[in-house]
């Protein structure tokens, strides 16, 4: 008889070390080339069996801005798994958030990834990681990376992943806001800045000469934060600053605090500032806190593994 009744899974938030976007395709998506790194800021999902209903409650950072109904990505993940596997189990999900909501760190995707792993375990559906990743991609483009973790190149919608070899540990200072940016609005601003209109998929090639992702991939192999600092690049930065000009002050504050470099994560508003090592990260964070450019300043490291069970309580 199976004794395990609760499953606790944690999944990391991500930052984007590079991000380039082509003009929108006819289906509305912008083809992306991005290098993700999973960092030590985690979402935790506790899954408890129920008689049959699927329910959620959310605690922690920004919980009041997370829906507690069927639109919650963790709830959608549980429904999708149940529908595809034909199990009749129910689950109560308790999400404890550390990743900022609508922060460009894919917190909702991490919740979905954690819920998939937790429910697969709880309901003993035994899906492979590859199968969970395929289900995850239906829920959101960033879910496969939250399952995989570490460092990876993401193409297409960011959901086609190639693992990237990374040496060493990188120390980041995250400037986190208590407000969010909508990813579609940031992409719309990018299109407006560029004067882009939708084009056929075959023409939708990233326009940057060379490859920002290639520079980051080479830098991650070097294990040298100074090399990585030179490679950080996000094409959404200007659009995000266009919508929230105070983000320019956050980037400037990171510079003044002595960070090696700073970059917007995804569509923002989180800014990731790179430090040389742990003491340097603590010093940069201290100065940035004093500058009051962000609601919170956190020190994290990466890369970190993807969604996995942390305890199983009997």
List residues with catalytic annotation: 14, 142
Kindly state whether residue 74 participates in binding ligand ATP, applying the rule CB under 6 A: yes
The only residue of 31, 89, 107, 136 in contact with ligand ATP, by rule CB under 6 A: 107
Q: At what angle do helices 129-139 and 107-122 cross, to 10 degrees?
A: 140
Q: Each residue of 153-173: b (16+ CB within 10 Å) or e?
A: bbeebbbebeebebeeebbbb
Site string for ligand ATP, 255-274 (x = CB under 6 A): -----------xx-------
Site for ligand ATP in 38-67 (CB under 6 A): 65-67
Kindly state whether residue 109 participates in binding ligand ATP, applying the rule CB under 6 A: yes
Q: Which stretch binds ligand ATP (CB under 6 A): 72-80, 125-133, 274-282, 303-311?
A: 72-80
Kindly state whether residue 104 participates in binding ligand ATP, applying the rule CB under 6 A: yes
Neighbouring CB atoms inside 10 A of 64's CB total 7
The Cα 187–Cα 193 span in angstroms is 10
The only residue of 9, 19, 32, 73 in contact with ligand ATP, by rule CB under 6 A: 73
The Cα 54–Cα 50 span in angstroms is 8
Q: Which stretch binds ligand ATP (CB under 6 A): 25-33, 68-76, 209-217, 280-288?
A: 68-76
Kindly state whether residue 154 participates in binding ligand ATP, applying the rule CB under 6 A: no
Q: Which stretch binds ligand ATP (CB under 6 A): 106-114, 256-264, 283-291, 295-303?
A: 106-114
Backbone phi, then psi, for 248, in 5-degree steps? -65, -35
Report the length, in residues, of the chain: 314
Beta strand 261-264 with 170-176: parallel, antiparallel or unpaired? Answer: unpaired
Quote the tokens at residue 97.
């958030």
What lies within 8 Å, CB to CB, of 43 at 6+ separation is: 10, 11, 12, 13, 95, 96, 97, 98, 99, 107, 110, 111, 114
Site string for ligand ATP, 291-310 (x = CB under 6 A): --------------------
Residue nearest to ligand ATP (CB): 108
The response to whether 108 counts as a known ligand-binding position is yes
The Cα 270–Cα 213 span in angstroms is 20
The response to whether 102 counts as a known ligand-binding position is yes
The Cα 208–Cα 103 span in angstroms is 25
- Residues touching ligand ATP, count (CB under 6 A): 23
Q: Which residues are known binding-site members for ATP?
A: 100-110
Positions that interact with ligand ATP (CB under 6 A): 65-67, 71-74, 95, 101-109, 111, 142, 180, 183, 266-267
């Amino acid at each position: 008889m199976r004794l395990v009744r609760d499953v606790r899974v944690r999944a990391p938030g991500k930052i984007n070390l590079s991000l380039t976007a082509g003009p929108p395709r006819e289906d509305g998506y912008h083809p992306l080339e991005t290098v993700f790194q999973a960092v030590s800021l985690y979402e935790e999902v506790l899954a408890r069996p129920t008689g049959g209903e699927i329910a959620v409650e959310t605690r922690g950072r920004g919980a009041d801005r997370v829906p507690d109904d069927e639109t919650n990505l963790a709830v959608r993940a549980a429904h999708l798994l149940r529908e595809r596997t034909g199990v009749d189990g129910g689950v109560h999900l308790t999400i404890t958030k550390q990743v900022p909501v609508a922060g460009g760190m894919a917190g909702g995707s991490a919740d979905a990834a954690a819920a998939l792993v937790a429910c697969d375990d709880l309901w003993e559906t035994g899906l492979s990681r590859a199968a969970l990743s395929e289900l995850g991609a239906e829920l959101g483009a960033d879910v496969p990376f939250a399952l995989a973790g570490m460092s990876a190149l993401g193409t297409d919608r960011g959901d086609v992943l190639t693992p990237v070899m990374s040496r060493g540990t990188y120390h980041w200072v995250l400037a986190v806001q208590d407000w969010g940016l909508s990813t579609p609005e940031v992409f719309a601003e990018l299109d407006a800045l560029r004067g882009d209109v939708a084009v056929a998929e075959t023409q939708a090639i990233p326009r940057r000469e060379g490859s920002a992702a290639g520079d980051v991939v080479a830098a991650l192999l070097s294990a040298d934060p100074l090399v990585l600092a030179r490679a950080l690049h996000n094409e959404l930065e200007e659009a995000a600053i266009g919508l929230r000009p105070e983000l320019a002050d956050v980037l400037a504050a990171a510079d003044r605090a002595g960070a090696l470099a700073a970059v917007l994560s995804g569509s923002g508003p989180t800014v990731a500032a790179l430090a040389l090592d742990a003491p340097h990260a603590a010093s940069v964070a201290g100065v940035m806190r004093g500058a009051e450019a962000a609601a919170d300043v956190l020190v994290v490291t990466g890369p970190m593994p993807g969604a996995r069970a942390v305890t199983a309580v009997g």
